[in-house]
Homo-oligomer: A and B are copies of this chain.
Amino acid sequence: MILILTPNIEPESHVYQLLTTHLSRLPDIELRIHREQGLEQMLTEIHLIGNTSAIPTEDMKDLPGVERVVRVSEEYRILGRHRDDHRSSHFNYQGLQFGQDTLHIFAGLCAVDTAEYVELMMRALRDNGQVCTRMGAYKPRTSPYSFQGHGKDCLPYVFELAGKYGIKVIAMEVTHESHIDEIHRALRLTGEPTGVMLQIGTRNTQNFELLKFVGRQKDFPVLLKRGFGITLSESLNAAEYLASEGNSKVVFGLRGVKTKLGDPHRNSLDFAHVSVVKRLTRMPVCVDPSHSVGSRSRGPEGILDIMHATAQGGIAGANMVLVDFHPDPNRALVDGPQALLLEELPHFLEDVEIARKAFEKRTAALARYASELQTVAA
């Protein structure tokens, strides 16, 4: 059960003290306080953990300082969308708003290889009005003998170049706790020229210790990728590990699942789950067409499968796109064959825009038909 308090309530205030004192006397119930600074106000939730079935909702609603009460189901306690749960799903980072009704594109390098390529990428992004990117410094690879990314060594120039070209947020995979420190240090060293969205990759979706560590920091939002061999529900539970430790600035990433049935694509696309994740949870949903498709194949009309996949995510309301570009795919150290070219960036962006506009038209059409049906019914 979640008590949503009146906005901007102060922990030192009399009403807050009264409330928490009362709640702490509930037998066998543990309290967890979640405070979230939004753009305009401070939101406070008190989560009652334990068997709350015997506590009447009405009693809780009447307590001082309580604005609303949400009775949560068992699953996805914090990130989930519970019955009659109209809480916002937004969070802000670096002046950008992320939610289930926004769209951000993170085009960039799957793996950082050279400073020159990073700069070419950043410049192309700036020239096309982009303020987000992806840059892989720590690369988990199937074989221990493959290139594992430049790690912390590349961070300073990546961050400086981001600052130079006005990039506000870099999605960057981390595979170990120490990477967060290294990112922090490199950001400080370079004067905080940009921001980072920590990415947890598909191999670590159920690396619960890493999730708990990342969940305990609130500096960086997190992009959690779906585990490629587990059910959607298991991956959503993994997201809840982040939130249960305090960080609910979580974007959920779809990136295809592993089955023989997706061939010739690298993975089976799972973008049909865009609306499912948005229904079950309050997380914004990211799609990763590059790792789902894994090649530069095209339909007979000439459009890349990667762009078809992106459009399929977009028309269903995806909130973020993570996509691989490279100035010279033949020289890319990781996943070159699936990278788009810098000169394809304007086309890609327009293609995404068409799909997004279609989603908006669809939403408007729904509203129109819904009101017609109501008029008929009345």
A274 touches B207 (CB 8 A): no
A355 touches B260 (CB 8 A): no
29 contacts between A and B (CB under 8 A): A144-B240, A144-B244, A176-B209, A207-B210, A229-B230, A230-B261, A232-B261, A262-B272, A268-B270, A269-B269, A272-B292, A272-B305, A274-B299, A274-B308, A275-B298, A275-B300, A275-B303, A275-B308, A279-B300, A303-B362, A308-B315, A308-B316, A308-B317, A311-B315, A344-B369, A351-B362, A354-B358, A355-B358, A357-B358
A276 touches B297 (CB 8 A): yes
Which single residue of chain B is at the shortest CB-CB distance from A241?
B144
- Please report whether the interface of chain A is mostly helix, strand, loop or mixed according to DSSP: helix
Cα(A345)–Cα(B171), bound, Å: 42
* Cβ proximity bits A236-255 to B, threshold 8 Å, 1 near / 0 not: 01101100110000000000
A140 touches B366 (CB 8 A): no
* Cβ proximity bits A252-284 to B, threshold 8 Å, 1 near / 0 not: 000001111111110011111111101100000
A301 touches B208 (CB 8 A): no
A268 touches B279 (CB 8 A): no
A81 within 8 A of B: yes
Cα(A346)–Cα(B309), bound, Å: 27
Q: Which of A100, A307, A354 has the most CB of B within 10 A?
A: A354
Of the candidates B77, B230, B305, B312, the one whose C-beta lies within 8 Å of that of A258 is: B230
Which single residue of chain B is at the shortest CB-CB distance from A208?
B140
List A residues 173-192 near B (Cβ within 8 Å).
175-176
A75 CB to closest chain B CB (Å) equals 8
In the complex, chain B residues whose CB is within 8 Å of the CB of A49: 145
A142 within 8 A of B: yes
A143 within 8 A of B: yes
In the complex, chain B residues whose CB is within 8 Å of the CB of A261: 229-232, 257, 259, 268, 270
A130 within 8 A of B: no
Known A257-B268, A270-B261, A315-B358: A366·B145 in contact at CB below 8 Å: no
Cα(A200)–Cα(B237), bound, Å: 21
Interface residues on chain A, number (Cβ under 8 Å): 93
Cα(A355)–Cα(B316), bound, Å: 10
A371 CB to closest chain B CB (Å) equals 12
Cα(A232)–Cα(B263), bound, Å: 7
Cα(A272)–Cα(B274), bound, Å: 14
A338 within 8 A of B: no
Cα(A308)–Cα(B271), bound, Å: 10
A20 within 8 A of B: no
Cα(A264)–Cα(B235), bound, Å: 13
A10 within 8 A of B: no
Cα(A1)–Cα(B10), bound, Å: 67
A378 within 8 A of B: no
Cα(A140)–Cα(B210), bound, Å: 12
A369 touches B354 (CB 8 A): no
Q: Which 9 pairs from chain A and chain B are nearest by CB?
A: A229-B229, A275-B299, A203-B206, A269-B272, A358-B358, A312-B312, A176-B209, A347-B369, A144-B244
A345 CB to closest chain B CB (Å) equals 11
* Cβ proximity bits A300-327 to B, threshold 8 Å, 1 near / 0 not: 1111010111011011110000000000
Known A297-B276, A369-B347, A373-B343: A208·B175 in contact at CB below 8 Å: yes
Of the candidates B227, B311, B365, the one whose C-beta lies within 8 Å of that of A347 is: B365
Which single residue of chain B is at the shortest CB-CB distance from A285?
B299
Cα(A229)–Cα(B350), bound, Å: 36
Cα(A261)–Cα(B230), bound, Å: 7
